């Protein structure tokens, strides 16, 4: 023991000498001079003394003030100065891989070292960390996994959780676990860092922990909203109440102020702007649906127009474009490459950045461009598994705006009108409250965080307990959790697919049974807004158009047929005419198309289909099989079809009589030659209505209702058995029990 102490002391002395040598070298001095200019440096003393006097502290400050690069360094340096260098282990978590990597590199160079000496990083599948690493930047996920292996984090002296204002799910999870750990490790220090101040919430969660605010500085940033941008182009956007051909209220009207002043390039940009502005959800009456908008409305021409003008008229510098996702980023890049100015590599360097890109590619955006080239990069930091893009909050709009003023005065172009900005939420809801509960429960289980409801009850902000319990019950019924709330094989696959479990189930079985083409369309259709439009004044025409696609007593298969037609039309570049003629939403069809791609790549990642997808569609034309896979996904959304002389009625076990939504293809049938309907959603307006449904036979329900994996069978055996008996089909129920047992022995995912 004494020998060990001696070694550690010698090592600590070496570290101190090395640090002093660097700080006194010419480059070291220059670096220190730069660091001293950062606002965080002025708070160094206050921060270090707060850390030594408190187990938990909260630090906030504007982006760029030096939180991430300086504060972990202050701690490391002060430990080294007090000859405790070899004893300290500082971990700083980042929500994103790219920041863990780029920040560690920056900090190493500020210390005059190479990465992997005293400073290192670790992200999933990659890392740079050596025997002498005492400051480690890692993703939040990595620290959570580390906690699985050692719940006391032996040897770690300081934990810094960065960017907590983002309220990512992993960060919220981590705080619950750390709060638990603090009393067991009284020497451990926890530092929470945040860009925007919501310090009260965090402080009270940690029993009134002290907060330090770093006063910030940024250059002024001029802000333009959509109406200002259009005005610059000579157009004026004014509110109006026109009704368009589809009976939708148009809120915006464009008046040409200066006739034919500009080139045709402006025309398409303006056309785009009108499409953005005319998007019906901009109406204040439908504010609730403001939370979803369609990528179609992003307005690529408008972005091109603005970028072109910046490049022609502005001083050198960088432009940062925030997009909703990878699809849009790559589409825009391809579009810009065809522009004579923006696509000219001697004038503009076009770079892309997205969480799904390789880290080496992502880090290109941090390199200095060669002389003269203006730099453009696209940034989709929002990498949450969210199927529909949503509006950002005012706080993130402000933060993105702030990035334009880091090194010189800047400009910010919002591609939406001011009145839309005014409807944004102040803060974004924390991810833990935004994530669908079923997925959240599966996530907790995959991280082995114990009992779901007990764990969630200790969160900074927890979802409602009743709702959590319902979600757990549902996961048991569909076979993702067993009776003891443990993940089944199916559940483990579902945790790897960031989507609603019912969609995940459908896709998994679609992959196993080689009918992914139609099944991915069905799953995508369930995730976007109904593509079948029914404008009030053209209801009959719209219904007639839909019934042209009607087939197999299934709304889901009806959509598949409509999508296949769209795909053909798209090949002939006639998809807009196709949508117009058939009363289909072009935006929804495009979104379905994009989602299908996303599903395929997710299934490839999980290993359920091979990369050239040779066999995943061999059975795509077997309607009965597809019906069965839909049933597997939508169960327990099931109702019984009771026929009488003239027509039929529908019943579910929980609600009794239910009705079909009027635009369901099954609502127009006087007879449904099947005993069951499976459905996605119930809506309560006076009566209970079922939205989309697919008719299924006894045998399909028997074999595919619930899980076909072994775990958790008892629960849904009882439930499905109950269904069959309730609807007086006891003979079928008996048969079911027998088949089921046989089947469970045969099939396992």
- Residue ranges binding ligand ADP (CB under 6 A): 38, 61, 63-70, 102, 106, 366, 406
Closest CB 68 distance from ligand ADP, rounded Å: 3
| Cα separations in angstroms, 404 against 78, 222, 353 | 33, 9, 17
Closest CB 490 distance from Mg ion, rounded Å: 39
Closest CB 37 distance from ligand ADP, rounded Å: 9
**Which one of ligand ADP, Mg ion, none is in contact with 61 (Cβ closer than 5 to 8 A by kind)?**
ligand ADP
Q: Name the one residue in this structure whose structure tokens are 């709330």.
A: 485
**Which one of Mg ion, ligand ADP, none is in contact with 531 (Cβ closer than 5 to 8 A by kind)?**
none
Cα–Cα distance between 192 and 167 in angstroms, integer? Answer: 12
Closest CB 396 distance from ligand ADP, rounded Å: 14
**Which one of Mg ion, ligand ADP, none is in contact with 38 (Cβ closer than 5 to 8 A by kind)?**
ligand ADP
Q: Which is nearer to ligand ADP, 62 or 227 (CB)?
A: 62
Q: Which is nearer to ligand ADP, 66 or 501 (CB)?
A: 66
**Which one of ligand ADP, Mg ion, none is in contact with 65 (Cβ closer than 5 to 8 A by kind)?**
ligand ADP
Closest CB 351 distance from ligand ADP, rounded Å: 15
Residue positions counted in the chain: 749
Cα–Cα distance between 232 and 249 in angstroms, integer? Answer: 26
| Site track 717-746 with Mg ion (rule: CB under 5 A), x = hit | ------------------------------
| Site track 58-97 with Mg ion (rule: CB under 5 A), x = hit | ---------xx-----------------------------
Which token pair is 483? 């009776």
Q: Which is nearer to Mg ion, 67 or 165 (CB)?
A: 67
Q: Which is nearer to Mg ion, 265 or 399 (CB)?
A: 399
**Which one of ligand ADP, Mg ion, none is in contact with 705 (Cβ closer than 5 to 8 A by kind)?**
none
Buried-state track 211-246, b at ≥16 Cβ within 10 A, e below 16:
bbebebebeebebbbbbebbeebebebeeeeeeeeb
Q: Which is nearer to ligand ADP, 104 or 438 (CB)?
A: 104
**Which one of Mg ion, ligand ADP, none is in contact with 140 (Cβ closer than 5 to 8 A by kind)?**
none
Query: What are residue 657's DSSP bridge partners?
Result: 651
202 near 164, Cβ under 8 Å? yes
Which 8-state DSSP code applies to residue 358? -
**Which one of ligand ADP, Mg ion, none is in contact with 99 (Cβ closer than 5 to 8 A by kind)?**
none
Q: Which is nearer to ligand ADP, 99 or 663 (CB)?
A: 99
Residue 726 CB neighbours (<10 A) = 13
Strands 656-660 and 687-690: parallel
Cα–Cα distance between 50 and 54 in angstroms, integer? Answer: 6
Q: Which is nearer to ligand ADP, 77 or 598 (CB)?
A: 77
The residue at minimum Cβ distance from Mg ion is 68
Q: Which is nearer to Mg ion, 57 or 665 (CB)?
A: 57
**Which one of Mg ion, ligand ADP, none is in contact with 427 (Cβ closer than 5 to 8 A by kind)?**
none
| Site track 490-529 with Mg ion (rule: CB under 5 A), x = hit | ----------------------------------------
Q: Which is nearer to ligand ADP, 366 or 421 (CB)?
A: 366
**Which one of ligand ADP, Mg ion, none is in contact with 660 (Cβ closer than 5 to 8 A by kind)?**
none
**Which one of Mg ion, ligand ADP, none is in contact with 64 (Cβ closer than 5 to 8 A by kind)?**
ligand ADP
Helix (H) or strand (E) holding 689: strand 687-690
Residue 749 CB neighbours (<10 A) = 17
Strands 410-413 and 221-224: parallel
Cα–Cα distance between 147 and 149 in angstroms, integer? Answer: 5
Closest CB 163 distance from Mg ion, rounded Å: 6
Is 218 one of the binding residues for Mg ion (CB under 5 A)? no
The strand ranges marked E within 124-273 are 126-128, 135-139, 158-161, 189-194, 211-214, 221-224, 235-239, 252-256
Closest CB 162 distance from ligand ADP, rounded Å: 7
Closest CB 94 distance from Mg ion, rounded Å: 8
Which token pair is 182? 């603090």
Closest CB 459 distance from ligand ADP, rounded Å: 25
Closest CB 85 distance from ligand ADP, rounded Å: 22
3 state DSSP class of 329? helix
289 near 249, Cβ under 8 Å? no
Q: Which is nearer to Mg ion, 67 or 189 (CB)?
A: 67
| Cα separations in angstroms, 502 against 526, 597, 612, 678, 706 | 10, 18, 26, 12, 11
Q: Which is nearer to ligand ADP, 101 or 209 (CB)?
A: 101
Closest CB 618 distance from ligand ADP, rounded Å: 51
Closest CB 125 distance from ligand ADP, rounded Å: 23
**Which one of Mg ion, ligand ADP, none is in contact with 70 (Cβ closer than 5 to 8 A by kind)?**
ligand ADP
Distance of CA 496 to the CA centre of its chain: 14
Q: Which is nearer to ligand ADP, 161 or 592 (CB)?
A: 161
The strand ranges marked E within 14-169 are 56-61, 90-94, 119-123, 126-128, 135-139, 158-161
Q: Which is nearer to ligand ADP, 162 or 431 (CB)?
A: 162
Q: How many residues bind Mg ion (CB under 5 A)?
A: 2
459 near 427, Cβ under 8 Å? no
Cis peptide before 25 (omega within 30 of 0): no
* CA atoms within 13 A of residue 197's CA, in its CB half-sphere: 11
Question: Which of 521, 498, 493 has its CA nearest to residue 508?
Answer: 493
Chain contacts with Mg ion (rule: CB under 5 A): 67-68
């Amino acid at each position: 023991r004494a020998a060990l102490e001696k070694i550690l002391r010698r090592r600590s002395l070496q570290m101190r000498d090395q640090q002093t040598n660097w700080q006194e070298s010419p480059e070291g001095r220059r670096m220190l001079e730069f660091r001293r200019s950062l606002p965080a440096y002025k708070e160094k003393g206050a921060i270090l003394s707060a850390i030594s006097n408190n187990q938990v502290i909260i630090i906030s400050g504007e982006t760029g003030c030096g939180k991430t690069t300086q504060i972990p360094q202050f701690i490391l340096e002060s430990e080294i100065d007090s000859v405790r260098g070899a004893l300290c282990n500082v971990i700083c978590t980042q929500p994103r891989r790219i920041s863990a990597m780029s920040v560690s590199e920056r900090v190493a160079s500020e210390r005059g070292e190479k990465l992997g000496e005293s400073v290192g990083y670790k992200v999933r599948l990659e890392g740079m960390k050596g025997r002498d690493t005492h400051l480690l930047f890692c993703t939040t996920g990595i620290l959570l996994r580390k906690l699985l292996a050692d719940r006391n984090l032996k040897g770690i002296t300081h934990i810094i959780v960065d960017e907590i204002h983002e309220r990512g799910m992993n960060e919220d999870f981590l705080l619950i676990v750390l709060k638990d750990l603090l009393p067991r490790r009284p020497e451990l220090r926890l530092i929470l860092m945040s860009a925007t101040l919501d310090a009260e919430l965090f402080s009270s969660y940690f029993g009134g922990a002290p907060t330090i605010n770093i006063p910030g500085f940024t250059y002024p940033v001029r802000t333009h909203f959509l109406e200002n941008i259009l005005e610059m182009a000579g157009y004026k956007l004014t509110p109006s109440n026109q009704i368009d051909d589809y009976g939708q209220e148009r809120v915006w009207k464009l008046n040409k102020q200066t006739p034919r002043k500009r080139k045709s390039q402006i025309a398409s940009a303006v056309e785009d702007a009108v499409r953005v502005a005319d998007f019906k959800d901009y109406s204040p009456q439908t504010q609730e649906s403001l939370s979803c908008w369609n990528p179609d409305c992003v307005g690529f021409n408008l972005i091109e127009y603005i970028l072109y003008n910046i490049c022609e008229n502005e001083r050198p510098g960088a432009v940062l474009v925030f997009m909703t996702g990878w699809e849009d980023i790559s589409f825009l890049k391809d579009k810009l490459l065809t522009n004579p100015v923006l696509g000219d590599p001697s004038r503009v360097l076009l770079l892309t950045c997205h969480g799904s890109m390789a880290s080496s590619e992502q880090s290109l955006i941090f390199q200095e461009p060669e002389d003269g080239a203006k730099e453009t990069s696209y940034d989709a930091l929002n990498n949450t598994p969210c199927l529909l893009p949503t509006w950002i909050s005012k706080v993130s709009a402000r933060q993105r705006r702030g990035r334009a003023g880091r090194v010189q005065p800047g400009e910010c172009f919002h591609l939406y009108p001011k009145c839309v900005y005014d409807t944004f939420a102040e803060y974004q809801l924390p991810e833990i409250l935004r994530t669908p509960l079923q997925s959240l429960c599966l996530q907790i289980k995959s991280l082995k965080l114990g009992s779901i409801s007990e764990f969630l009850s200790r969160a900074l902000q927890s979802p409602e307990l009743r709702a959590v319990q319902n979600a757990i019950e549902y996961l048991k019924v569909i076979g993702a959790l067993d009776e003891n709330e443990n993940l089944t094989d199916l559940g483990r696959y579902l945790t790897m697919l960031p989507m609603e479990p019912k969609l995940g189930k459908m896709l998994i079985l679609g992959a196993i049974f080689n009918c992914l083409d139609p099944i991915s369309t069905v799953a995508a259709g369930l995730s976007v807004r109904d593509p079948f439009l029914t404008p009030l004044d053209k209801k009959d025409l719209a219904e007639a158009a839909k019934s042209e696609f009607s087939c197999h007593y299934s709304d889901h298969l009806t959509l598949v047929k409509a999508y296949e037609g769209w795909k053909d039309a798209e090949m002939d570049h006639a998809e807009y005419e196709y949508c117009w003629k058939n009363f289909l939403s072009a935006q929804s069809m495009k979104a379905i198309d994009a989602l299908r791609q996303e599903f395929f790549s997710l299934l490839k990642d999980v290993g359920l289909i091979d990369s050239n997808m040779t066999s995943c569609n061999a059975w795509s034309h077997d309607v009965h099989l597809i019906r069965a896979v839909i049933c597997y996904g939508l169960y327990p959304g099931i109702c019984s079809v009771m026929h009488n002389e003239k027509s039929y009625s529908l019943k579910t076990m929980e609600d009794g009589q239910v009705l079909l939504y009027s635009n369901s293809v099954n609502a127009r049938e006087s007879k449904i030659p099947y005993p069951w309907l499976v459905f996605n959603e119930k809506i309560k307006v006076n009566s209970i209505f079922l939205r989309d449904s697919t008719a299924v036979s006894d045998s399909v329900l028997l074999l595919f209702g619930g899980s076909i994996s072994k775990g958790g069978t008892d629960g849904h055996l009882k439930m499905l058995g109950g269904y069959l008996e309730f609807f007086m089909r006891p003979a079928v129920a008996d048969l079911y029990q027998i088949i089921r047992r046989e089947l469970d022995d045969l099939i396992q995912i």
